[in-house]
Homo-oligomer: A and B are copies of this chain.
Amino acid sequence: MARSTNARRPATLASLAAELGVSRTTVSNAYNRPDQLSPELRKRVLDTARRLGYPGPDPVARSLRTRRAGAVGLLLTENLSYAFRDPGALSFLEGLALACEDAGHGLLLVPANPEREDVASVHSAGVDGFVVYSVPEDDPHLAAVLERPVPSVVCDQPSIPDVDRVGVDDRAAITAMAKHLLDLGHRRVGISCMRLARARNDGPASLQRQANASFHVQKARLTALAEVFSDAGIDWSTVPVVERFDHSQESGASAAAQILDTDPEVTAIVCTSDILALGALDEAERRGVKVPDDLTITGFDGIPDAERAGLTTIRQPILEKGRAAGRLLLDTAERGRPREIRLETQLIEGTTAGPPRSSEERWFGP
């Protein structure tokens, strides 16, 4: 009777060895060290394996023995499927996948539903290390990862003792943007930002919420904005900072709407991501507000759609981030001292930022 290719555990290395009348070592060598036995014997082993339906050494047993899994785990803040919709996450994934592929490693996407506290998936991930991308500082999944006795690399996260890190200087990057706006003459600004904490909030982010933000990147950007604008004599507590939990263009649009409704005198909306900024552009168009004549809108990331739209933004090498994270994790040589890779950002002067219209112009202009 023909054996189905999907039969259950048809044979093991030991049973094969027994059948052949050789030792397990020999069979193992036939697969892992072809040079350690005669070609004839090897052929005999492999042939018999085929005949018995032996599928080759079990990867899990081998992993247990060798202490290597041949895979890298990725922990994201969002539902897995989100990763395939967000352009930023996607670029990161692409870069990481590139690095894994180069090393012949698999990439395991670890389900880490932010709504649930269940970290079993982290505990059961058979991987040689983790890459953690932009999860909140207090996420239990992150804690679970750090407890695992494998190396990890964090990206867009605050630095953690003994853990490698990849990121950009968010603070410097957005400071440049803020100064750019100040130079243009803006004094009344609004901020549209991504989620600041695990608890959902769609609306104004209080000063306290800003201070307690558990998403490192967002917090760094807000803090820097607060500092620059305060230094310029603007009372930060009067600046509308509107937060959105979902990262989508619709969110960006509604956040912009909320800012404009709250403070119609705002001349510029600084968004902490391109997606939010693109949404803000949508909203401006809907309202017949001309950009940049009536309103300046800026983003952050430099995703392709932003470039296409001529958005004034900060470009950061997201794909490179992913690749760097993967390399850091897989480069066993340099391990030991904790390392940090900081990539460069660049202010892109698009067509969505310009000098503010003076109030007179705005109220009584042509």
A108 at the B interface (CB under 8 A): yes
A34 at the B interface (CB under 8 A): no
A343: which B residues are within 8 A, CB to CB? Answer: none
Shortest C-beta distance, A335 to chain B (Å), equals: 9
| Cα distance A240–B81 in the bound complex, in angstroms | 40
| Cα distance A100–B84 in the bound complex, in angstroms | 14
Does A81 lie within 8 Å of B109, measured CB to CB? no
Size category of the binding interface on chain A: 35 or more
A249 at the B interface (CB under 8 A): no
Does B63 lie within 8 Å of A60, measured CB to CB? yes
A81: which B residues are within 8 A, CB to CB? Answer: 94-95, 97-98, 101
A7-15, A20-28, A287-295, A308-316: which lies at the interface: A7-15
A61 at the B interface (CB under 8 A): yes
8 more A-B contacts (CB under 8 A) besides A5-B161, A105-B121? A5-B163, A59-B126, A60-B126, A64-B64, A69-B126, A90-B90, A106-B124, A109-B109
A152 at the B interface (CB under 8 A): yes
> Given B58, B63, B107, B110, which contacts A109 in the complex, CB threshold below 8 Å?
B107
A149 at the B interface (CB under 8 A): yes
In the complex, residue of chain B having the shortest beta-carbon distance to the beta carbon of A8: B149
Interface set, chain A 147-162, CB cutoff 8 A to B: 147-152, 161-162
In the complex, residue of chain B having the shortest beta-carbon distance to the beta carbon of A92: B84
A83 at the B interface (CB under 8 A): yes
A355: which B residues are within 8 A, CB to CB? Answer: none
- Known contacts A64-B60, A120-B104, A121-B106; decide if A71 and B126 are in contact (CB<8 Å): yes
In the complex, residue of chain B having the shortest beta-carbon distance to the beta carbon of A145: B5
Does B111 lie within 8 Å of A108, measured CB to CB? no
A110: which B residues are within 8 A, CB to CB? Answer: 106
In the complex, residue of chain B having the shortest beta-carbon distance to the beta carbon of A85: B94
